[in-house]
């Protein structure tokens, strides 16, 4: 796991699975174990999060942006004014070098510097820039549709390697008259 944030009704994770299917197995285990524990502790029943997990492949050029997206989530929803103020995320590990046994640095993070101090400083510098609203929209759309977020070259590789569509589909169905024209009616 490279980044995480625990929210009230969902969680964001940036992970590199060890093998095919291990992400699904991990999420299933969390659903079985943690939700059961939480329900027992707080004398409640039912699901804890908003439905089934969604995932998407992320190209290397989007890794650090997605880490920022994840760790800035409590700021975006107005719970805190800065990510350091939210204790249930990987920000203090990635930005300050605080120990967190759950976090393993991604290669893109390691490329920020030669020492842990340089990497942490470089990572904090990234947070001085806002994430472009179009990029925020893209991240949400690619996760929602479970597509491959990355460069066009990365997306073509995903499509060739896995035989699956990598790009997001338009949000709405075409209008009926457009469908009729396309069918020659």
Q: Give the model's pLDDT for residue 184.
A: 57
Q: How far, in Å, CA of 14 to CA of 155, rounded? A: 19
Lowest mean pLDDT among 46-55, 73-82, 117-126: 46-55
Which of 26-35, 47-56, 103-112, 167-176 reaches the highest mean pLDDT? 103-112
Q: Tell me the pLDDT tens digit for each residue of 126-155.
A: 999 999 999 999 999 999 999 999 999 999
Q: Calculate what percentage of the chain has a pLDDT beyond 90.
A: 63
Give which of 152, 84, 166, 82 is closest to 120, Cα–Cα. 84
What are the structural domains of the chain?
A: 3-132 (3.30.70)
Find out whether 147 and 56 touch, Cβ atoms under 8 Å: yes
- The reported pTM is 0.82
Lowest mean pLDDT among 28-37, 111-120, 171-180: 171-180
Find out whether 83 and 72 touch, Cβ atoms under 8 Å: yes
Give which of 7, 25, 6 is closest to 17, Cα–Cα. 25
DSSP per residue over 103-158, as a string?
Answer: ----HHHHTT-SSHHHHHHHHHHHTTSPPPHHHHHHHHHHHHHT--BS-HHHHHHH
Please compute the mean of the pLDDT values over residues 75-88 and round it to a whole number.
96
């Amino acid at each position: 796991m490279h980044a995480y944030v625990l929210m009230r009704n969902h969680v964001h994770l940036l992970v590199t699975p060890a093998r095919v299917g291990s992400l699904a197995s991990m999420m299933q285990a969390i659903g079985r174990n943690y939700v059961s524990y939480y329900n027992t502790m707080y004398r409640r029943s039912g699901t804890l999060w908003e439905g089934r997990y969604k995932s998407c492949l992320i190209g290397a050029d989007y890794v650090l942006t997605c880490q920022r997206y994840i760790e800035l989530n409590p700021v975006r929803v107005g719970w805190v004014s800065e990510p350091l103020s939210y204790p249930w995320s990987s920000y203090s590990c990635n930005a300050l070098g605080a120990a967190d046994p759950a976090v393993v640095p991604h290669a893109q993070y390691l490329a920020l510097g030669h020492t842990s101090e340089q990497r942490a400083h470089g990572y904090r510098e990234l947070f001085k820039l806002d994430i472009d609203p179009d990029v925020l929209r893209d991240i949400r759309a690619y996760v929602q549709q479970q597509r491959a977020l990355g460069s066009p070259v990365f997306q073509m590789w995903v499509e060739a390697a896995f035989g699956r569509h990598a790009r997001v589909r338009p949000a709405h169905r075409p209008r009926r008259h457009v469908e009729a024209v396309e069918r020659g009616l």
